[in-house]
Structure 1
């Protein structure tokens, strides 16, 4: 039908994202461990490389060409309030975990999602070094390299495999201290994907994560049967005027509520009992 949206079906959007992000991964690998030019941006002095910018340009051109009526939000593109007028928009992080990328590590990823009315309906997360392509579409489940994934069914946080910030969140620090194994995954999106596939039982994110860090990972978690919420248990909403989120917790459905209960009930020990 003339004028019909070719990406109206979330599965069609997922396929378009997989194709585009796979090519973006090739761009990233051309610069990887090749001393790309880098600089810092913003008050936080966040690092940026020429690879971030090249991927951003490529994905914007490719995805907007597929759906010119959709909005755009990316870490490496200046934000515009125009996106708020769009029911659907692409949300992209060209390289999530730029510090890991610059250090030659493997724990970085490319994250892209299509959001409709504040929630992701198609998502792709690609870890180029390990060639892991995570993808999901609303109501169709989540996969890793085409194989369905499922978040874990563990219920007890004690002894679980977790990842998250070790400083600044006393309740989270206490939970991580009881974990059986604590992993370091510098890409926030990839950290959450590890929960979606069951490699980790839970993961935490400090306040300050942005839509581009979280939109794709959120759909992966949901479609894999897990939960990604605020510490109060609220779901994430994307494409708001300020695309920034508070502290978050990701876990399989069975462990999510026990973790929320521990976060809510945390009472710091008396000063005399705290470690020096």
Structure 2
């Protein structure tokens, strides 16, 4: 997926997202490790001046060239007007803000375009780890322009899984402690992208993920050959009245059934 131009010489959507993500990453790095100002939104969710700066840049940059697209971002007040848009930008200026503020490397800038409830173009950029993931519906997925694919292992006892502690404990009890749980990565989008490139064998999202957390990574994983699915086996839908999602499971096809069954058992055990 090299740089491609739309009719008239302008960047097409995927390269527009990639170019914007790179600049957004530079903005993030200008604040990284420098104690940016922080506020708390909701109950305990931090937002920093870096989040706001990136959000402002992306909104101005993207809507200037795609004024007919809708807009949904973690750091912009939601508007029901987005529901009428045929195509919609779904943006997380910094996915993994807690990690960003703690100085860890695994934060990302997440950009997607959604149409008819599903992402059609996606870019995820990790400025510190220097990984740029891209995907277009039907065109495959890459990391730094190299094709990616998920792990082919069908065993929960192989690979690493980024999953909640209670699910890990349930699986390890069943497997006599033979499952490897990865260290915590604050960015859910990056965890899903690592499943897409085989760096992780699977990950689970709790019932709190929002559209902006997962839309880009969802397409990247799907185009790599894996899937992000609800427990009923269906794909999540985006640009709905509620942006919140229930339990979600990300994996390659080989381990999907085993991981899904273990998650369902763990949920039922805790009920």
Task: Give 1:231 shift.
Answer: 2.2
Task: Give 1:163 shift.
Answer: 0.4
> Deviations 1:112-165 (Å, cap 9, x if unpaired)?
000011100000001100111011111111111111110111111123310022
> Deviations 1:143-199 (Å, cap 9, x if unpaired)?
111111101111111233100221xxx445423664234231110000100000000
Aligned length: 257
> Residue 172 of structure 1 contacts residue 204 of structure 1 at CA under 8 Å; is this kept in 2?
no
| Map of 1:21 onto structure 2 | 21
Is 2:170 the counterpart of 1:174?
A: yes
Is 2:102 the counterpart of 1:106?
A: no
TM-score w.r.t. the length of structure 1 is: 0.89
**In 2, Cα distance between equivalents of 1:178 and 1:205:** 22
| Map of 2:204 onto structure 1 | 204
- Which residues in structure 2 correspond to 1:230-269 (within 5 Å)? 230-265=230-265, 268=269
Is 2:127 the counterpart of 1:128?
A: yes
C-alpha distance 265-46 of structure 1, shift in aligned 2 (>3 A): closer
- Which residues in structure 2 correspond to 1:54-93 (within 5 Å)? 54-93=53-92
> Residue 168 of structure 2 contacts residue 179 of structure 2 at CA under 8 Å; is this kept in 1?
no
> Residue 168 of structure 2 contacts residue 181 of structure 2 at CA under 8 Å; is this kept in 1?
no
> Deviations 1:37-89 (Å, cap 9, x if unpaired)?
111111x2210100000000000111111211000000000000000001110
**In 2, Cα distance between equivalents of 1:50 and 1:15:** 26
Name the SS for the 2:198 alignment partner: coil
- Which residues in structure 2 correspond to 1:135-214 (within 5 Å)? 135-166=134-165, 170-171=166-167, 173-175=169-171, 178-214=178-214
Task: Give 1:265 shift.
Answer: 4.6
Q: Which runs of 5+ in 1 are unaligned?
A: 1-5, 270-276
> Residue 232 of structure 1 contacts residue 260 of structure 1 at CA under 8 Å; is this kept in 2?
no
